[in-house]
């Protein structure tokens, strides 16, 4: 690339190499260096800073789901978000403005009541909203369309630009060496173990490699000669032109498979899913825009004449249960994955810390354990009824 | 709604005061005739913006309870109520104007990179609400009852021609003579239909619509009408001709955001309407003499005609008051630019771009249909001149309120990747989605680092062309892949 400043030569070895400088890679790198005092952590990223899904997502941070496993991981991560600015010394602008799951169908309202029970058992603060609560919290929504709503006061959003800026700076301050526009082209294996990665014809040696390459994780697994469930695919999302605040909490409209929030920049950012087969491209298409717009029009008639500012796509790695794959690969000692993320922005600070702990100490935290890479082989998928993506 | 056509004039309200418009005036033109040039304020520092022909933010106003209406596209009707946005508590008494006194450097990064109050502290939630209010610029629309979405119109043809200027008309005629059916969609007035009669194939024409997005390699396109109550258009075609012309982009000098800095096309439009009585200074890259003669024929006083590269600064409080060429200060009310000319390549880019880590034009083969650029749209971009000296206060992107100083600040922190600078500053993320601001940002990066900026932004559709209701009207017309 003509415009990038000439880079220092790559080192010949590192304590840990992290493939991918998205939120997962940066959060793990930060924790390895800051909490476990690893020197020589190297992060390699083929694209530009924020070019992956971590710079293209809906920025929603949800701390509870419908099952104990999902809720355990994401509650932990939401806690990390709440203290993150203080911990890393940079403002990630986490906004604890609450997150509301909205049911249109009566059967979904029932699902939300069941989820509330799970939350109560786990000691998580969540509230079933009354008609009046909805009017107060979501004045813009057409209440005639809503049959139930579950509110998570401790969840919220963080602008991904701010979060990624903070994590990048904090990791660099801890001595992590982070290189963008640097693509990993092959993996080095010795006696079945991982031994390093190749960047073109340059080998960087390391006995531990963490792959956090977002939508490219299945390709990385192929390159490393291991199998990983799931496939890469695009997700699309769009922003409306800025308005002064009309929608306060983050929202998941469960029955319409729609999520949205209004950013600190005033843009209403969100999307509703249109069922398509997997496509691995950053191009956008018409059905998602049309579907999202029709959900907005139905639920927020006030937005009818508001214009769509931009529409873009990002890549994720979708697993059969949409839950992440976290841990060391059973077929290749030393090769770790933070993969399969569909809520990987919300999960970033939590998973980064758990992953660093697992790599540093060799013990897997109970919160992380259900997400093991071989869970499908063991017949233990993690399906959750409250997912929207 | 009573249009102006019965009485030759009609009354409307701007910021609570009554004014008179002439028949057929757009709101921007009517305000201009009444001497009102500052219609909007920049996002962060509330500097005045107006009709420019280059930047959308300067003409977004609230009309009859609808936010962000383009004042240059809405016709005045009797009793129309319009007001400026981004004010508080009211346009007449606007406290937010005090932001003009804030040093520019304190708001670098804008609303998503505010280091002032850290999240986790008790003050953060109220602070964030305030930020969101300031960044929002426009009050939400008045609550309205649910209404059905207008189903989009679908048009199919062998060829889609975008742009109804001479090059577009010629391309449409050529194709139709060869027996290829044509859909021609253009902004502004449609070309006269008579010239397309009796050809070997039909030519369907839609004026007052803007094609804003190509999908699936160019086999599908979307266009939106100026009027938000009318439906969008979906086209299906086997070939695309882009005849979208080129525009003159503003000089990269301090004061370039001021109301009164306008491009050649806007100047001619205002001159034709008899709306200019200010003294003008004309700058350009070669066409400035010709433009000055044309303006002269409309009776407009032109105080100086110079190459744009010799312009060093534009002065004024709420509008242009003088143009400076080195030490030579020329009093004027308008600075009209005729160059550098750059073709907006947004549509072409959408046709040919693909990628997984970054959308990029790998080659023109990425398009699934043949694509041709004709007329001025096919001309290479003229270089943007970066003047020597202190130009930190010049705007690269008035819509997002990003100055040259802010770009230089990012460069100074070691960032030189334009994609990164875009995300740190917001440059190019406003309504124009990168045109012309990307060219100005790229010029500064190239000038300061001595390298050529090879990448382009992902010029994202729809660039605030289509409304939520219009997009909802597309539901079901295109099957998911
Ligand atoms: C439209 C959209 C909306 C979303 N909304 C939300 C939301 O609201 N909340 C939420 O929690 N999550 C959301 N997500 C998901 C979330 O963004 C991702 O799960 C998360 O960002 C994944 O982070 P990551 O670090 O694993 O991957 P990424 O951020 O994608 O980073 C992966 C990096 O790997 C790099 N890479 C790829 N190949 C190579 C290679 N060969 N060598 C070196 N580097 C390589 C890429 O350049 C990239 O930078 C959304 C995703 C999308 C696309």
Q: Which of A4, A180, A307 is facing B464, going by the closest CB pair?
A: A307
- Please say which residue of B97, B113, B132 terminates a domain: B97
Closest CA to B160 of B375, B461, B369: B369
Using the structure block, give the residue that is written with the tokens 């070691």: B414
Alpha carbon distances (Å) from A222 to A227, A324, A371, B478: 7, 18, 20, 34
pLDDT the model gives residue B6: 52
* Each residue's pLDDT tens digit, B43-94: 999 999 999 999 999 999 999 999 999 999 999 999 999 999 999 999 999 9
Using the structure block, give the residue that is written with the tokens 């986790």: B120
Query: A336 and A204, same structural domain?
Result: yes
A385 in a domain, yes or no? no
Q: A195 in helix, strand or coil?
A: strand
**A215 alpha carbon – ligand 1 mean position (Å):** 6
Mean pLDDT, residues B311-340 taken together: 97
Residue A197 near ligand 1, beta carbon < 6 Å: no
- A271 contact partners, CB below 8 Å, separation of at least 6: A58, A235, A236, A237, A238, A258, A259, A260, A288, A292
- The reply to whether residue A289 touches residue B418, judged by beta carbons under 8 angstroms, is no
Q: Which of A215, A245, A315 is facing B136, going by the closest CB pair?
A: A245
B69 in a domain, yes or no? yes
Residue A270 near ligand 1, beta carbon < 6 Å: no
- The reply to whether residue A294 touches residue B472, judged by beta carbons under 8 angstroms, is yes
A382 in a domain, yes or no? no
Task: Tell me the chain A residues in contact with residue B429 when contact means C-beta distances shorter than 8 Å.
Answer: 310
Query: B235 and B353, same structural domain?
Result: yes
Neighbouring C-beta atoms of residue A192, cutoff 10 Å: 11
**Angle (CA) B315 B321 B325, round 5°:** 55
The CATH number assigned to the domain holding A288 equals 3.30.9.10
Token pair for B214: 């190509």
Q: A221 in helix, strand or coil?
A: helix
Query: A176 and A144, same structural domain?
Result: no
Contact present, A367 and A380 (Cβ < 8 Å): no
The preferred substitution site among A19, A53, A322 for testing ligand 1, maximizing ligand atoms within 8 Å of CB, is A53
Query: B354 and B206, same structural domain?
Result: yes
Query: B254 and B242, same structural domain?
Result: no
- A180 contact partners, CB below 8 Å, separation of at least 6: A21, A45, A47, A48, A49, A51, B417
Query: B449 and B399, same structural domain?
Result: yes
Query: A307 and A247, same structural domain?
Result: yes
Query: B243 and B258, same structural domain?
Result: no
- A26 contact partners, CB below 8 Å, separation of at least 6: A43, A164, A167, A168, A171, A178, A348, A352
The reply to whether A122 touches chain B by the CB within 8 Å rule is: no
Mean pLDDT, residues A315-319 taken together: 97
B123 in a domain, yes or no? no
Distance CA A371, CA B179 (A): 61
Q: Which atom of ligand 1 is nearest to the CA of A344?
A: 19
Distance CA B61, CA B84 (A): 5
Peptide bond into B406 cis (omega under 30): no
Task: Tell me the chain A residues in contact with residue B447 when contact means C-beta distances shorter than 8 Å.
Answer: none
Q: Which atom of ligand 1 is nearest to the CA of A234?
A: 53
Residue A343 near ligand 1, beta carbon < 6 Å: yes
| Total domain count, chain A | 2
- Please say which residue of A278, A303, A318 terminates a domain: A318
Distance CA A161, CA A158 (A): 9
- The reply to whether residue A304 touches residue B67, judged by beta carbons under 8 angstroms, is no
Query: A275 and A151, same structural domain?
Result: yes
The reply to whether A74 touches chain B by the CB within 8 Å rule is: no
Alpha carbon distances (Å) from B153 to B20, B404, B474, B480: 37, 43, 9, 19
Query: A242 and A207, same structural domain?
Result: no
A9 in a domain, yes or no? yes
A87 in a domain, yes or no? no
B141 in a domain, yes or no? no
The CATH number assigned to the domain holding B406 equals 1.10.10.1100
B176 in a domain, yes or no? yes
pLDDT beyond 60 at A4 = no
Q: A280 in helix, strand or coil?
A: coil
- Please say which residue of B330, B360, B381 terminates a domain: B381
The reply to whether B287 touches chain A by the CB within 8 Å rule is: no
Query: A177 and A274, same structural domain?
Result: no
B310 in a domain, yes or no? yes
* Each residue's pLDDT tens digit, B99-133: 999 998 888 888 877 778 999 898 999 999 999 99
The reply to whether A304 touches chain B by the CB within 8 Å rule is: yes
Query: A247 and A287, same structural domain?
Result: yes
Distance CA A21, CA A16 (A): 13
Query: B85 and B24, same structural domain?
Result: yes
Cα distance from B276 to chain A (closest Cα, Å)?
A: 32
Q: Which of B135, B145, B357 is facing A47, going by the closest CB pair?
A: B357
Q: Which domain holds residue A134?
A: 97-155+232-318
Q: Which domain holds residue B313?
A: 250-339
Mean pLDDT, residues A290-313 taken together: 95
Quickly list DSSP for B431-472.
Answer: TTTTTTHHHHHHHHHHHHHS----------SBTT-SBHHHHH
Contact present, B59 and B39 (Cβ < 8 Å): yes
The CATH number assigned to the domain holding A172 equals 3.50.50.60
- The reply to whether residue A242 touches residue B135, judged by beta carbons under 8 angstroms, is yes
Query: A151 and A236, same structural domain?
Result: yes
A66 in a domain, yes or no? no
A387 in a domain, yes or no? no
B419 in a domain, yes or no? yes
How much of chain B is in helix, strand and coil states, percent to nearest 5?
A: 25, 25, 50
pLDDT the model gives residue A329: 98
- B6 contact partners, CB below 8 Å, separation of at least 6: none
Mean pLDDT, residues A141-168 taken together: 95
B104 in a domain, yes or no? no
Q: Which of A92, A242, A290 is facing B119, going by the closest CB pair?
A: A92
Query: A171 and A148, same structural domain?
Result: no
- Please say which residue of A282, A299, A318 terminates a domain: A318
Token pair for B322: 């003088």
Whole-number percent of chain B with pLDDT over 70:
98
- Quote the distance between the C-alpha of residue B439 and its chain's center: 14
Token pair for A386: 């409250």
* Each residue's pLDDT tens digit, B380-402: 999 999 999 899 999 999 999 99
Query: B241 and B350, same structural domain?
Result: yes
Stronger pLDDT, B412 or A6, i.e. the higher one: B412
A24 in a domain, yes or no? yes
Query: A285 and A262, same structural domain?
Result: yes
Residue count (chain B): 481
- Outline where DSSP puts E strands in A138-247: 148-152, 156-157, 177-179, 186-190, 193-199, 202-205, 208-211, 231-240
| Total domain count, chain B | 4
| The pTM of the whole model exceeds 0.80 | yes
Q: Give the residue on B whose Cα is nearest the Cα of A183.
A: B357
A289 in a domain, yes or no? yes
Phi, psi dihedral angles at A31 (to 5 degrees): -70, -35
Distance CA B196, CA A163 (A): 56
Query: B430 and B356, same structural domain?
Result: no
Residue count (chain A): 389
Average pLDDT of chain A is 95
Query: B371 and B233, same structural domain?
Result: yes
Query: B408 and B463, same structural domain?
Result: yes
Query: A218 and A166, same structural domain?
Result: yes
């Amino acid at each position: 690339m003509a415009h990038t400043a000439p880079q220092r030569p790559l080192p010949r070895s590192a304590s840990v190499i992290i493939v991918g400088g998205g939120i997962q890679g940066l959060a793990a790198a930060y924790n390895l260096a800051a909490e476990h005092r690893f020197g020589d952590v190297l992060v390699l990223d083929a694209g530009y800073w924020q070019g992956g899904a971590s710079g293209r997502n809906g920025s929603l941070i949800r701390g509870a789901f419908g099952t104990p496993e999902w809720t355990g991981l994401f509650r932990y991560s939401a806690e990390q978000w709440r203290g993150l600015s203080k911990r890393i010394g940079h403002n990630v602008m986490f906004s604890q403005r609450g997150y509301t799951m909205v049911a249109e169908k009566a059967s979904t309202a029932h699902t939300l009541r069941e989820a509330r029970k799970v939350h109560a058992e786990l000691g998580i603060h969540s509230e079933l909203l009354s008609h009046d609560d909805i009017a107060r919290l979501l004045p813009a929504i057409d209440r005639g369309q809503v049959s139930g709503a579950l509110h998570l006061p401790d969840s919220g959003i963080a602008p991904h630009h701010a979060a990624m800026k903070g994590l990048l700076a904090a990791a660099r301050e801890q001595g992590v060496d982070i290189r963008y526009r640097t693509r990993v082209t092959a993996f080095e294996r010795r006696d079945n173990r991982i031994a390093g990665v190749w960047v073109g014809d340059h080998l960087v040696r390391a006995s531990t490699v963490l792959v956090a390459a977002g939508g490219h994780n299945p390709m990385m697994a192929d390159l490393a000669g291991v199998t990983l469930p799931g496939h890469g695919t695009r997700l699309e999302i769009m922003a409306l032109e800025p308005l002064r605040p009309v929608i306060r909490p983050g929202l998941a409209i469960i029955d319409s498979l729609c999520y949205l929030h209004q950013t600190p920049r005033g843009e209403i950012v969100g999307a509703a899913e249109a069922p398509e087969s997997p496509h691995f491209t950053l191009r956008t298409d018409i059905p998602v825009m049309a579907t999202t717009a029709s959900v907005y029009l139905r639920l927020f008639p006030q937005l009818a004449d508001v214009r769509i500012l931009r529409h873009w796509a990002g890549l994720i790695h979708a697993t059969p249960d949409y839950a992440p794959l976290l841990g060391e690969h059973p077929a290749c000692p030393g090769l770790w994955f933070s993969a399969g993320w569909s809520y990987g922005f919300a999960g970033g600070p939590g998973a980064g810390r758990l992953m660093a702990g697992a790599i540093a100490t060799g013990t897997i935290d109970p919160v992380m354990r259900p997400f093991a890479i071989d869970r499908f082989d063991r017949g233990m998928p993690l399906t959750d009824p409250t997912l929207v993506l | 709604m009573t249009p102006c056509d019965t009485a030759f004039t009609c009354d409307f309200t701007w910021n609570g005061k009554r004014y008179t418009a002439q028949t057929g005036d757009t709101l921007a033109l009517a305000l201009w005739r009444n001497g009102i040039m500052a219609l909007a304020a920049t996002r962060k520092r509330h500097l005045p913006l107006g009709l420019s022909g280059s930047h959308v933010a300067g003409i977004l106003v609230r009309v009859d309870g609808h936010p962000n209406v383009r004042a240059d596209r809405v016709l005045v009707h009797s009793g129309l109520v319009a007001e400026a946005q981004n004010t508080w508590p009211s346009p007449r008494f606007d406290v937010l104007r005090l932001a003009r006194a804030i040093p520019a450097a304190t708001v670098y990064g804008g609303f998503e990179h505010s280091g002032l109050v850290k999240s986790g502290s008790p003050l953060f939630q109220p602070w964030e609400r305030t930020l969101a209010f300031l960044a929002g610029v426009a009050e939400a629309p008045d609550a309205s009852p649910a209404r059905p979405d207008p189903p989009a119109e679908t048009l199919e043809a062998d060829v889609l021609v975008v742009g109804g200027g001479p090059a577009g008309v010629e391309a449409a005629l050529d194709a139709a003579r060869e027996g290829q059916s044509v859909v021609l969609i253009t902004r502004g007035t449609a070309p006269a239909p008579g010239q397309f009669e009796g050809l070997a194939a039909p030519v369907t024409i839609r004026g007052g619509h803007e094609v804003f997005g190509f999908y699936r390699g160019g086999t599908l396109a979307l266009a939106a009408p100026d009027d938000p109550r009318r439906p969008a258009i979906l086209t299906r075609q086997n070939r695309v001709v882009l005849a979208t012309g080129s525009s003159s982009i503003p000089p990269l000098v301090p004061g370039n955001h001021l109301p009164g800095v306008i491009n050649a096309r806007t100047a001619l439009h205002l001159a034709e309407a008899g709306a200019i009585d200010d003294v003008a200074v004309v700058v350009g890259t070669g066409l400035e003499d010709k433009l000055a003669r044309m303006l002269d024929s409309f009776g407009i006083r032109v105080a100086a005609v110079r190459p744009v590269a010799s312009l060093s600064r534009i002065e004024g409080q709420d509008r242009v008051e003088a143009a400076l060429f080195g030490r030579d200060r020329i009093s004027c009310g308008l600075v009209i630019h005729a160059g550098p000319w750059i073709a907006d390549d947004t549509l072409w880019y959408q046709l040919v771009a693909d990628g997984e880590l970054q959308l990029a034009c790998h080659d023109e083969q990425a398009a699934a249909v043949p694509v041709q650029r004709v007329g001025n749209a096919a001309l290479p971009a003229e270089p943007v001149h970066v003047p020597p000296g202190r130009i930190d206060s010049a705007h690269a992107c008035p819509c997002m309120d990003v100055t040259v100083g802010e770009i230089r600040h990012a460069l100074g922190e070691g960032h030189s990747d334009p994609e990164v600078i875009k995300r740190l500053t917001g440059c190019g993320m406003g309504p124009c989605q990168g045109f012309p601001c990307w060219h100005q940002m790229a010029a500064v990066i190239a000038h300061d680092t001595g390298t050529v900026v090879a990448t382009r932004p992902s010029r994202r559709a729809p660039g605030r062309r289509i409304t939520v209701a219009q997009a909802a009207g597309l539901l079901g017309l295109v099957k998911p892949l």
